[in-house]
Structure 1
């Protein structure tokens, strides 16, 4: 097994992918979007972080966050988001004996993927990836049609044109 190490850079910016445990035919995150938003809001009030970009898809989400100077504990924030969201849902999901013994709910994959953003070009690539994801997964044909995305904030701020990310062949273009 590889010796995986997370990069903890106080005040850093990271890209994240967080998945539900059962991804097939699961729309929990968009079905419970109000609960997810409230949970994120509560965690941000207690442990601030800047949301640079975010997209919520039916069974996974991508985000780019910047933490405050001197703070690198993104793991605590994700743990609180995942556990707060889970605790607010009725206990109807299947749980393995291992999860039951650990007192865990059965909604989330235990781990998440994170990538430390290295520079402006890396930041832009990851923000673009976040925003194009609903079209990439075939949920919409136009990025602007996905409601659970910070893309709309970027359009309002004139970072993207409204028609950004339209499908062109097998890739997405900027205009």
Structure 2
């Protein structure tokens, strides 16, 4: 009888050791999986925050340029030719500076991605070219330049709206290209 008790005790102890080992391996694996999932979540949140900040910067800059475009239209209505020319030249300089900031912010969006948003940001940047050329023509005194400038605003603003839509989708996507 004593021999059976010893075997049962040894088998029970062996089973307990094996169960403990299996449990510890499972616990370690579960902890590793949980840590990896948490790290992935943190990384995705950081990426989303970086992208969102880059997108907001482009939107704010586009708004600043849009405000200056309105000022160009107002400046063109100044009746004194010398005063009008000075105002338009000042706005041209301001728009050049604002364009440089926009270009830099578009590059950041290109870096942050995804490609669809970067393309929309670049189209927004490109949409400023016609406005600037029309402003140059206004300064040069071309007769139809003011109308050309006004006609450039709707396509510019549409590129801003399109960028916002594309950026919104990208921010709310769960995957992180």
Calculate the TM-score normalised by the size of structure 1.
Answer: 0.24
Larger Rg: 2
Calculate the TM-score normalised by the size of structure 2.
Answer: 0.23
Report which of the two has the higher share of helix: 2
